[in-house]
Chains A and B, each alone.
Chain A
Amino acid sequence: MRLTLRIWRQKGPKEPGAFQTYSLDDANEHMSFLEMLDVLNQHLIERGEEPVAFEHDCREGICGCCSLVINGVPHGPWTKTTVCQLHMRAFRDGDTITIEPWRSRAFPVLKDLIVDRSAFDRIMAAGGFIDVRTGSAPEANSIPIPKPVADLAMDAAECIGCGACVAACPNGSAMLFVAAKVSHLGLLPQGQPERYKRARAMVAQMEKEGFGGCTNYGECEAVCPKGISITFIARLNRDFLRASFCPEGVGGKRVA
């Protein structure tokens, strides 16, 4: 396959960036998208140019590292697929492909296609956990959890924290990411004591990081490689609203 690649190049966080165009003659349809970029990079190195920096690690769709906007769509044209699992079968000989980093105020570009997503870690540290000390857990089967509830919690828990939801959202909102964690833990009996405190703390940190609000565009769900549903955002909104009526520090207390 012959391809024309328009790739965002940016030396550092404070440097201006620009698109550069490369042609690639030896791609083939069995390659993954990242392998196609590997091939390009090998050519660039051989030519004495600097290779394109992009984030990747597991290359099997689970670590959440890879983060490219391809032809305007985070993770590219296949639904429920990370960039690393996208294969060149999705493109045709002669195509021009535009490749950009995640674009969001809360995700500053570090270099080329790599962005800083540490805001997600700070949101998690603000409350994305169940406070259980190692060794203090009760017997695992002492609290039965109905299978549909456990399955729904698992649906939310599948989030890989890649940030595509933020990149796709016209508001740069991280609501789907936060909603997935709040729902996962809030659905389980173990997560009840801190349920409302958690929603409040995570949302507060999210706002502090400069993410926008949710206005129901639904773009996040459309690009999510794990198919996380926006109904979890409704769940987050409910919990957050309830939390607003809870006195500070009385996390689990339900009002009305």
Chain B
Amino acid sequence: MNLDPKIPSGPLESRWSRKKNEIKLVSPANKRKYSVIVVGTGLAGASAAASLAELGYRVKAFCYQDSARRAHSIAAQGGINAAKNYQNDGDSTYRLFFETIKGGDFRSRESNVYRLAEVSAAIIDQCVAQGVPFAREYGGLLANRSFGGALVSRTFYARGQTGQQLLLGAYSALCKEVGRGTVEMHPRCEVHDLVVVNGRARGIITRDLVTGELKAWAADAVLLCTGGYSNVFYLSTNAKGCNATAIWRAYRRGAGFANPCYTQIHPTCIPQSGDYQSKLTLMSESLRNDGRVWVPKNPGDKRAPNEIPEHERDYYLERMYPSYGNLAPRDISSRAAKRVCDEGRGVGPGGRGVYLDFADSIRRLGEAVIRDRYGNLFEMYERITGENPYQVPMRIYPAPHYTMGGLWVDYNLMSTIPGLFVLGEANFSDHGANRLGASALMQGLADGYFVIPYTIGEYLGNASLSPVSVDSQDFRDALAEVANRIERLAKSRGSRTVDWFHRELGRIMFDFCGMSRTEEGLKGAITKIRALREQYWQDVRVPGDSKDLNQELEKAVHVADFLELGELMCLDALTRRESCGGHFREEFQMEDGEAKRNDAEFAHVAVWEFQGDGKEPVRHVEPLAFESVKLATRSYK
């Protein structure tokens, strides 16, 4: 497996400029000859599809939702980072770069992260020009707020719906191209396989979710912008339809899967209320700007929060991390919450919750200010829990949210399969072992608006691709494989529902490959997942048939892939014998319980290569070189 990251030479600050200057350009007349498939229409996919179409490429875009506007980027609440330094508080490209590298616990690629910080400012310009109604000051200029893991205010936001507004911006750009006829949009269409011809990605196989029709599509390059795989945990903050099928099928076709064990468990979600629970709802991290996190000092204290006097409360984040306090990064806050709950100090039903208390801020700023900042989040909390957070503290608990791992890509965002590009959360590249808040939106749009329009030209300009037909053997074989797999699932009339299996898998993953992991637990989890997968193919019950709108069949396909991916995540977590970012191995911790990295042996990206069903995948390594930052213990104290 060739893991050359293709990092441009020279000083970090000038690498992207040099790259852009050296990329082979495709002439406008020739761009029309190239076709590009874009899978997924979230921030990365919609921005890429629109930008490539503007350049003249012929684009076909696919999404499983009924409209491109519904991709799950829409649910991001808090904001988007950009090194504009509008606040004059010392921000810079370097500082955003450094904080992202440090936030990722020194497990990401310097050059990629620097480029991300470098293009961040242009993203804000682009979005404002599209009409994204960011929050503004009374003088009419853009407002900022601070976010976890940062000591400056660089986060741009649109109430608590930043993801929605950014996505609607990218979606409107996409609509503009659909209207011009340069993008062919295929909603309600799910990708089930990647077609590789002579070692290059040349097409996909899709299923029309209304008619069940399977179809092959050929192109000169394929972009996967399909998001993350947190739904492997069943309960997560992801939308119900989010799945790993496209990236997993690409992995099985030869794309390396990097750092699958790096998952982010977000600290501020509404706790689970029962077994019927279908998803977990995130409460934006921005709430931690004004909310104070606490639990009772004494285990088993069942008094109502308002009855617990100040001196019997433990504001544990402020106590443990005085310089960042309630704004400590996500992985650290989540683990701290788990620890106090494990000590029996958790609150609410089942004792899996901590308080997020706004009483002090309401006293200091008044209810109106808090309502203006977080009104929609408070309403959402009240609708779900029936409690009024202006009067009683919110209860929150960590929930699987984001996956830093994903398909391996080089500096050009190309996977180990030539012609297959991976953008946004679906790739592994920018967040290392932990992502800082307000960085996912930044990365999705950076990849789609400002990176891929350049780097795809380098591939297409040099590849000398011959035309392929969907009637060729490779396409027919892939189509037949997908048809077999779908038919097998569609005809499966076992005794357990798809959801039952998914919940079981989720429990194993959360218990053993969640916020803390051990060698013994991971080994046991692998055995359990294998058994569950075996049982799945014997005993799952899928109603209806494949030539119809069949939501159970859609889920059945996703869960079949999650049952394979879950095992790889555990295997990756098992072999990474250190703690870093969101990956916490109990065996590797400091005396005070903080993560203990092992830079001598693990300052690398682990990239897994598929070997076939029933065979152990091969672990490859891309060493991470740190030239501009010094590897240091990550401290927020």
Contact = CB atoms under 8 A, between A and B. Distances in A.
B416 interface: no
A161 B50 CA distance: 20
B543 A48 contact: yes
Contacts of A141: 84, 86, 141-142
B136 interface: yes
Contact of A147 (B137, B499, B543): B137
Contacts of A111: 210, 548-549
A60 B380 contact: yes
Contact of A117 (B66, B239, B383): B66
Given A59-B240, A147-B138, A126 B179 contact: yes
A51 B70 contact: no
Interface stretch (A185-193, A206-214, A233-241, A247-255): A185-193
B129 A190 contact: yes
Nearest to A157: B133
B250 interface: no
B187 A121 contact: yes
Contact of A58 (B137, B239, B548): B239
A218 B135 CA distance: 29
B336 interface: no
Nearest to B273: A30
Contacts of A46: 497, 541
B453 interface: yes
Given A60-B380, A157-B168, A35 B449 contact: no
B65 A63 contact: yes
Interface stretch (B29-37, B119-127, B403-411): B119-127
A84 B466 CA distance: 48
B168 A78 contact: no
Contacts, number: 218
Contact of B185 (A57, A121, A154): A121
A86 to B, nearest CB: 8
B281 A60 contact: yes
B456 interface: no
Interface stretch (A1-9, A37-45, A92-100, A164-172): A37-45
Given A28-B274, A30-B273, A53-B551, A190 B497 contact: no
Nearest to B138: A147
A144 B541 CA distance: 58
A120 B142 contact: no
Nearest to A31: B276
A129 B175 contact: yes
Contacts of B165: 154, 157
Nearest to A80: B379
Contacts of B141: 141, 144
Given A60-B282, A89-B386, A190 B66 contact: no
Contacts of B281: 59-60
A184 interface: yes
A132 interface: yes
A173 interface: no
Given A111-B549, A140-B124, A39 B172 contact: no
A226 to B, nearest CB: 9
A55 B209 CA distance: 12
Nearest to A81: B383
A32 interface: yes
B383 A133 contact: no
A44 B179 CA distance: 42
Contact of B384 (A42, A87, A138): A87
B277 A35 contact: yes
A140 B142 contact: yes
25 contacts: A12-B549, A30-B273, A30-B274, A38-B499, A53-B551, A58-B70, A58-B72, A58-B240, A63-B72, A64-B67, A78-B383, A86-B383, A117-B67, A118-B67, A121-B67, A124-B172, A132-B126, A134-B47, A135-B449, A141-B86, A143-B128, A154-B165, A160-B164, A188-B133, A190-B130
Given A30-B274, A46-B497, A140-B84, 17 more contacts: A35-B277, A38-B276, A45-B497, A57-B240, A60-B380, A86-B383, A121-B68, A121-B178, A124-B69, A126-B179, A129-B173, A129-B176, A131-B176, A140-B142, A154-B133, A157-B158, A190-B128
Interface of A: 12, 28, 30-32, 34-35, 38-39, 42, 44-46, 48-51, 53, 55-65, 78, 80-81, 85-87, 89, 110-111, 114, 116-118, 120-121, 124-141, 143-147, 150-151, 153-154, 157-158, 160-161, 184-185, 188, 190-191
Interface of B: 47, 50-51, 54, 65-70, 72, 74-75, 84, 86, 122, 124-131, 133-142, 158-159, 161, 163-165, 168, 171-173, 175-176, 178-179, 185, 187, 210, 239-241, 273-274, 276-279, 281-282, 379-380, 383-384, 386, 449-450, 453, 497, 499, 541, 543-544, 548-549, 551-552
